[in-house]
Chain A
Amino acid sequence: MLDPLDLKLLRDLGRMKGQVLAVSLVMACGLAMMIMTRSLTYTLETTRSAYYQKNAMADVFASLKRAPLAVAERVAALPGVAVVEPRVAVNVTLDLPGVAEPANGRILSLPEDGGPQKLNRLFLRSGRMPRLEARDEVVLGEAFAEANGLKPGASVVAVINGRRETLQICGIGLSPEFVFEARAGDTLPNHRRFSVMWMNYRPLAVAYNLDGAFNDLCIDLTPGTAPESVIAAVDRLLTPYGASGAYTIAEQASAQRLNDEMRVLSSLAVVYPLVFLSVAAFMVNAVLARIVRLQREQIAQMKALGYSSRQVGLHYLKFVVVIGLLGTLIGGVAGRFLGASLVNMYTLFFRFPKLEFQMDYSALALALVVSLGASVAGVLTVVWQAVKLPPAEAMRPEPPADFQPSLFERIGLTRFFSPAMRMALRNIERRPWQALFTSCGLALATGLMVLPGAMSDSIDFLLTFQWNRQQRQDVTVFLTEPGSGSGFHDLEHLPGVIRAEPIRSVPTRLRFGHRSRKLSVTGIGPGTSLNRLLDGHGDIITLPEDGLVMSKKLAEILGARIGDLVQVQVLEGRRPLVDVPLRGLVTDYAGVNAFMDLSALRRLMRESDTINGAFIAVDHARWDDFMRAIKDTPRSAAVMVKRDQLAAFRETTAKSIGLIRKLYFVLAVIVAFGVVYNSARIALSERSRELATLRVVGFRLAEIRGVLIGELAILVLAALPVGLLFGRGLALYIMASFSTETVRMPIVINPATYSLAVTVVLAAALLSFAVVGRMVGQLDMVGVLKARD
């Protein structure tokens, strides 16, 4: 048998189920986001660490020009080095049947001795490993194979060191090194146009004149070894062999990308729930304050019967505990469902042998604590009021509420207001906190509504900025090796080329103070019109004759400002080490980049007309001719086609952000409706006597609804501008947390986004007004009026 107070609790809750549900839903939105993001982080973390461990992901990576295999043994002998795996790694272009544009591939050799891989072990999805003696068998990366419908038994043509070779696909696989399966330096995956593949050592090494040698090295450290000392030793050992500097897993492209994703998730796991739970706390406060006012006499009765203040206080706290529990339950189920659905989105970006959603139950426990904490904190003052109410006083009818003319009337504007408007203004002024909380809730809802639109706007801007204004070339070609100007001449004269601009890109480590980044400095000619450097306003930056221009993000990472001297350590050729002034900052949204004037870079490198690539604008009428020709260009190592990149962007990033956008939209609608509905219900209950009186004296239903809704309408209208400002702030915060070294989101919010937010909040408000307006029609006029207040 339930305690009578608990029975009362259940029945009271049953009577106000609409409001209980509205508050719980808002709370659940925040908790669902929290549980979802934390669980996704947990899923990615556990899956990654299991994968890295099981398939022996290396700790340190190095690439070099060419070193005899014996050098690898010397590396293995270094203190702190547990396992070393030398290999041959080369970039090739691929020719897919029926596709005009070439694709890019990175071929990695399997161990020279034909034994199993010691590090970065392949996970074979289907087929088999290449036979020992096979010269043309490859295991193909899964993402590329899927995107192009390739299966074991099919073949693919690769230009290997200038010779077209038909490679037989014997298996489809994945590697912990390519969880993010993209070309080194690419920030977005393009699964149709990039593949990693594995083949036997010998045929690959022979083709590149690397037999008995290696040009890429993976190292596993003994547990507890600091990578810095090993890296320094490895660099000393490998520099004579043209190494460009070893780096740790933290700088490895795929691992870095995964880390970025988890960082984004973690920051979302905090800010979003915080906003929702604040709204929910406001709502809980309003609901309970109303219950306590309504049950004034019941509280007196309970006390008169001998219930202690503690029992009464607990009774009212239980209201919010039930709401908190319900919110956590709905949030938990929704979070699990959303997480399980969204985890599939990650397969667009990240490839694991198996990626299964794993619920982070600690998040659920945390959600419970947080939701109960927020609700209890929201109502402590209200419960305290109930507890301290002396029984005798509570049994007397509450005197009419105190009112005074509103501020607008006091300054002489009375004649502009109808009685209904005056009632509304005076009500608001009498309970400013309640009005403020309601408006805050609505402002938060409006703000949440800005976010999905802002994401769309950002993507649209990004697409235009990056692919129309910044990158005006159709194709970017990189050569296998830096070469003389004749290489550029060859590219310039390919069929269909309208304009070509040379690129000289040099691997470097940039240092400022104690911070450094390993990246290529790109030299481009003066007056380049294809790959343009733009500042934050979209204005073209002219490269100075000396000095560096770099991504704003890179300057931020290095902590360098314009005018500072940045140390440039070149990692090829003569390896000059110079200090170069930072002259300008580029606004870009993918990766981090550094640029120098082509001549300045060549002077630094003491070269005359060396290039290793070109930006090319192609006559679209001769597109296929150009593509055929470039496929047969023996020295091209990578060909990036802008429209393919754009398509890939739409398929991956745009699609996933689109999904998140929809989710945010639904959440914002729930909050907007919930807040307005809750406020309208409270207003209806608090003002039922007034409304019934108006009804009795002959006001029409529509007029009475006007009186009820007038006050809420004022609060809604007051909340909108604040909400838009808040939305902008929230968008800034969320975009900033999306902004990583690999991908950044521009902050662009179009007026249409603001209007949509306003429209949706107004629509949600109208819908709740309609629901509550119906209830006005059902008011029991006589019952309300004959009851004591």
Chain B
Amino acid sequence: MTAEPSEPQPPPGTCVFVARGLRKVYHTGEVEVVALHGVDVELNAGELVVLLGPSGSGKSTLLNILGGLDVATSGDLSYKGWALDGAEENTLTLFRRNCVGFVFQFYNLIPSLTARENVALITGIARDPMAPEEALAMVGLQARMDHFPSQLSGGEQQRVAIARAIAKRPEVLLCDEPTGALDVTTGIVVLEAIERINRELGTLTVIITHNAVMAEMADRVLHLSDGKIVKARRNSQRSAASGLEW
């Protein structure tokens, strides 16, 4: 990448990520594990994509490479025309800081900071952030802003994590099992927040899950197995997160 990614939000339907022949090989001791076996995929602006697949299918690896947390062993990956493969650590840091929001299964909030301060961590370093209060309002937490993580329920903590991820107005929101640690009701509330972000901000949203039900809320569903995309389908109509049941 030659310049800092700083383009305005692309119109819906334009390619944000283009991956060609992505391979990822891990070496653990003497064992070689091939996590991605040549993945070709295009992810478009404004899309909500769900990645389904069993454990070890390579979903998280793909997500981490897309988000600049990891680099592919071979293959090409571009973000809005910029090559991400072979990018330097500093460039990846800037990419994460300005373009990508992450949500993990475990909320990973800083326990010593309040909800508002956790979000403010990002707004302090991002280029064009929204106010922490605005981000928290988007996930319905305006009333709990000055609570510490220990004073919030699991669902609330995950919503703070989402607010933290989107406060920078990222072009991409990557969610790794965002409801994995939550009960159904709370999980739905979290999914509603993600859905709202995707709809209102037009953020390309990628969700990894084991839960096939969640595929209903996606524009597109990609099935991974053995490090390859084995099936892709496009939903003719997205279901509302509030209507999901599992």
Contacts and interface: CB of A to CB of B under 8 A. Distances in A.
Interface residues of B, number: 38
B5 to A, nearest CB: 12
Nearest to B63: A782
A24 interface: no
A697 B150 contact: no
A689 B70 CA distance: 17
A388 interface: no
A401 B125 contact: no
Given A401-B111, A698-B96, A786 B120 contact: no
B209 to A, nearest CB: 14
Interface in B77-95: 89-90, 93-94
A399 interface: yes
B109 A400 contact: yes
A785 B106 contact: yes
Contact of B176 (A423, A700, A701, A786): A786
B106 A789 contact: yes
Given A400-B157, A696-B96, A700-B93, A782 B69 contact: yes
Interface in A761-789: 781-782, 785-789
Given A403-B150, A419-B121, A786-B60, A697 B102 contact: yes
B113 A422 contact: yes
Interface in B1-48: none
A698 B104 contact: no
Contact of B148 (A397, A403, A701, A787): A403
A659 B105 CA distance: 60
Given A400-B111, A401-B150, A694 B104 contact: no
A399 B150 contact: yes
B122 interface: yes
B202 interface: no
Contacts of A694: 110, 121
Interface in A661-717: 689-690, 692-701, 703
Nearest to B92: A698
A192 interface: no
A400 B90 CA distance: 31
A697 B113 contact: no
A419 B96 contact: no
A697 B164 contact: yes
A698 B113 contact: no
Interface residues of A, number: 33
B94 A698 contact: yes
A404 B112 CA distance: 7
A427 interface: yes
A692 B69 CA distance: 10
B182 to A, nearest CB: 13
A786 B106 contact: yes
B105 A786 contact: yes
Nearest to A418: B124
Contacts of B178: none
A113 interface: no
Nearest to B109: A400
Contact of B126 (A690, A693, A695, A698): A698
A426 interface: yes
Interface centre among A403, A690, A694, A787 (most CB of B within 10 A): A403
Interface in A422-479: 422-423, 426-427, 430
A696 B105 contact: no
Interface in A309-368: none
Contacts of A490: none
A228 to B, nearest CB: 72
Contacts of A788: 106
Nearest to A420: B121
B218 to A, nearest CB: 22
Contact of B149 (A400, A404, A423, A701): A400
A249 to B, nearest CB: 68
B117 A422 contact: yes
Interface string A391-422: 00000010111111000000000000001001
Interface in A76-100: none
Contacts of B120: 419
B98 interface: yes
B93 A782 contact: no
B108 interface: yes
A426 B114 CA distance: 11
Contact of A696 (B102, B112, B124, B150): B102
Contacts of A698: 93-94, 96-98, 100, 122, 125-126, 168
B148 A404 contact: yes
A693 B149 CA distance: 15
Given A400-B149, A782-B69, A697 B110 contact: no
B64 interface: yes
Contact of A427 (B112, B117, B126): B112
Interface string B41-70: 000000000000000000010001001011
Contacts of A399: 150
A423 B106 contact: no
Contacts of A422: 112-113, 117
Given A697-B164, A698-B125, A785 B108 contact: yes
A422 B120 CA distance: 12
Contacts of A426: 112-113
A719 B144 CA distance: 37
B112 A697 contact: no
Interface centre among A696, A699, A701, A781 (most CB of B within 10 A): A696
Interface string B223-238: 0000000000000000
Contacts of B126: 698
Interface centre among B108, B110, B157 (most CB of A within 10 A): B110
Contacts of B108: 689-690, 692-693, 696, 785
Interface centre among B98, B108, B122 (most CB of A within 10 A): B108
Interface centre among A400, A402, A703 (most CB of B within 10 A): A400
Nearest to B117: A419
Contacts of A786: 60, 104-106, 176
B15 to A, nearest CB: 23
A694 B124 CA distance: 12
Nearest to A427: B112
15 contacts: A401-B112, A402-B111, A404-B148, A419-B117, A426-B112, A426-B113, A693-B109, A696-B96, A697-B96, A697-B97, A698-B93, A698-B97, A699-B97, A781-B69, A788-B106
Given A400-B111, A403-B150, A785-B104, 20 more contacts: A397-B106, A400-B150, A402-B148, A402-B150, A403-B149, A419-B117, A423-B110, A423-B113, A426-B112, A689-B108, A694-B121, A697-B164, A697-B165, A698-B94, A698-B96, A698-B125, A699-B121, A703-B125, A786-B176, A787-B106
Task: Give 7 closest A-B pairs by Cβ, nearest first.
Answer: A698-B97, A426-B112, A400-B149, A698-B96, A693-B108, A400-B150, A400-B111
